[in-house]
Structure 1
Amino acid sequence: MRNQPQTIRKTLCTALVLTLLAGCGTAGRVYDPPTELPRVTENPSLSEVVVGQDTVLLQQALMDLVQDADRSGADLAGTPPNEFISIYYEDLESGDILSLYPASYYPCSMVKLVCLAAVYDAIADSEIQEEEVSDMLDAMIEISDNTSYNVLAQLAGSDRIQHILEAAGTRNTVVNHGLLPGDAYFEGDPDLPDNTATAEDMGKILRYIHNWPDEEIRGKMIERLTRCEDDKALVQGLPAEVTVAHKTGWADGLYHDGAIVMEPDGGTYILVVMTENAPMEELSLIAETVTGFRGRKMTEEEPAA
């Protein structure tokens, strides 16, 4: 199903018109968060692997942080804390993984991570010419432009988006539609469920990007993610010397951030936090907790003089 390069501009224009037309009829659509996120087990467990003993200490520190979170500004009376903060952490060197308080959320603009990978997958297959979409890729990631996402997602196509979800190993993520001001459903069926995702699945998408086999494409995707302008969440809790390739997403009551964090000594890890009705400061505190753990771990691993 390869598109000829000379048809890309026409396809882009058509997709943009369709997106804007879709927005005319749906611009008033606002995400209505559920009154309660899916309950998870009382004692959160690791979803993939048994971690090393040192990472167990980080797990306990993060659980304590979530349990002690300030909920004075949120209507969460009687609801357990694991219903509004989910955390995914993966050390890409050791393979240690934490997936704490897993639940499904509306991913907001974090869905653009999937679109980024899908577009570059099409570029790798010569079905999209990078120079034709470079400005939209910049806008989608740097300033989280929704119209750019809508056009790029339509151009990549739902089949390729689904391929990325499957190739990354996601289990609880659905990408069915665009974002305001357009809200076109990719299969033309407005009865399809809203986009949903988990912190673990967004972590897997970031891992997929980080491990992309083509070094040039991998570098371009990560470099774009380092230019995400929204730095109010995880970035605030990370030291200035690390490189952060990340994407945020937000809507009423929701705030998410997911990052590939590259340390000066070569260490790399993934951190994703998805929240509902949680103060944004909680994301920064989580990042600070991980930073403190990584600093302690690296100090302990230094050889004695």
Structure 2
Amino acid sequence: MRFGVTGTNWITDTFIEAALAADHAEVTAVCSRKEETARTYAEKHQLPHTYTSLEEMCDSGEIDAVYLATPNAVHHEQVLTCLSKGIPVLCEKPLTATKALAEKCIAASNEHQVLLMEAMKSTVMPNFRRVKELLSEIGTIRQVRFQYGQYSSRYDKFKAGEILNAFKPDLANGSLMDLGVYTLYPIISLFGAPERIQSDSTLLHTGVDGQGAVLLSYEGMTVTASYSKIADSFLPSEISGENGAIHIDHISSPGKITLMTREGTTDQSVAQDKPSMAYEIEEFIKTAKEGNIESSINTHEMSLKTVELMEQIRKQQGIVYPIDSL
């Protein structure tokens, strides 16, 4: 599958590196608003084709799919453009910022019968599948604690008065959208939507959140999710049951899975010999080859439920984006 990419940041670099290791994938084109940026990026990664128009790239005949790594606030527009052109889309998380916009994207996928998949890498990785297999080993699950704290390299500039994209509400950014989604998407994948939601956050002066914490209530089980772009965390995530617990080293990219019971502790990790993003690429290609318009793992419903949950959290925390009115 020949991918065209949009966005020329570090995550696109990582995607291209992963595509080199994935089966049946290659990146052949890049689209950027500025021709100079597109050419420089194409030279960096030895891509044969450059475009300054997404429509032109979709019509070129040089790509089979698009990987979107642009700001969150424009995901929906670009998804709709690609799908209307018959081009499958692997859209970087989160799919979009609101339930209404997510519904439009999913409706377009159904209308045009073209594949749309959210690029949540963790849930298609072998070690996340291993977590699902181990759930029965720990008995009735009572507590879940998922966390992702990573001090942003852009936060120092923010404190110095320079506001970069990561902290701009007009781009639908902030800690919840950038990092919190890595905790919430797997929660929805494992346990479904919660019965009640309570949350709090540290708001920055631009109106986005620097960090946050969420308490999700299920019957007989409490789930906490914490995330931060202004502080690092080095603790694993944990699923605790009446008979034991499962530790996940990095919820955003599960690499080591540990099972802890009263009988002892065992490493339950499985081999992952490819870059983490390679697994989402292979799931996307597999889904396309099967002629399906959604992944059986990262389903449309999963994306919709996660977006809806994050929108509810934002409303509780008073985080408002300009695209909320669309």
| TM-score, scaled relative to structure 1 | 0.30
Normalized per residue, which structure has more strand? Answer: 2
